[in-house]
Amino acid sequence: MPKWDAERVRAAARVIEDRGGVILSSAVVHTADGADTVAAYTELVLRDPSDVRALQYDTAVVPAHRGLRLGLAVKRHMMGVVATECPGVRETATTVADENGPMLSVNEQLGYRREREIGYFQSKW
């Protein structure tokens, strides 16, 4: 499996931008110990800058930083960025696994509601 390093993240963002979309990122950076490392991040995509519906891509918190409400912090910050930078956006769609209780709680606190259930399937060779 390919490593998600900075260049791969930039390449994925370029694909969205090359298709006319907009990708917004928000992160919490841990600055202790003399090294800046990402502790939590979230990404939001508009397939077209004029879209009224944004797509919440990934939100993740590094295991060492879990339990500090950083997932809530980055998603709440992103909502503020969208309100300022993309005022035409009226809703955000996201997906979360049923077994991911912490992220379900974050989404509920931010006003998300369950729209429908979907299934993802994976084949391993």
- How far apart, in Å, are the Cα atoms of 4 and each of 30, 49, 85, 86, 105? 19, 26, 27, 28, 27
pTM for this predicted structure = 0.83
What's the domain range around 75?
6-109
Residue 98 within a domain: yes
Residue 89 within a domain: yes
Token pair, residue 104, equals 């379900």
- Residue by residue, pLDDT tens for the chain (125 residues) are 667 677 888 898 999 999 999 999 999 999 987 888 889 999 999 999 999 999 999 899 999 999 999 999 999 999 999 999 999 999 999 999 999 999 999 999 999 999 888 887 889 98
How many domains does one find in the chain?
Answer: 1
Residue 117 within a domain: no
What confidence score (pLDDT) does residue 2 get? 67
Residue 125 within a domain: no
Residue 12 within a domain: yes
Q: Can you tell me which residue has the tokens 């503020």?
A: 80
Residue 121 within a domain: no
Supply the CATH number for residue 98's domain: 3.40.630.30
d(CA 90, CA 51): 9
Token pair, residue 22, equals 């907009």
Candidates 33, 102, 45; CA nearest to 70 is 102
Residue 120 within a domain: no
Residue 118 within a domain: no
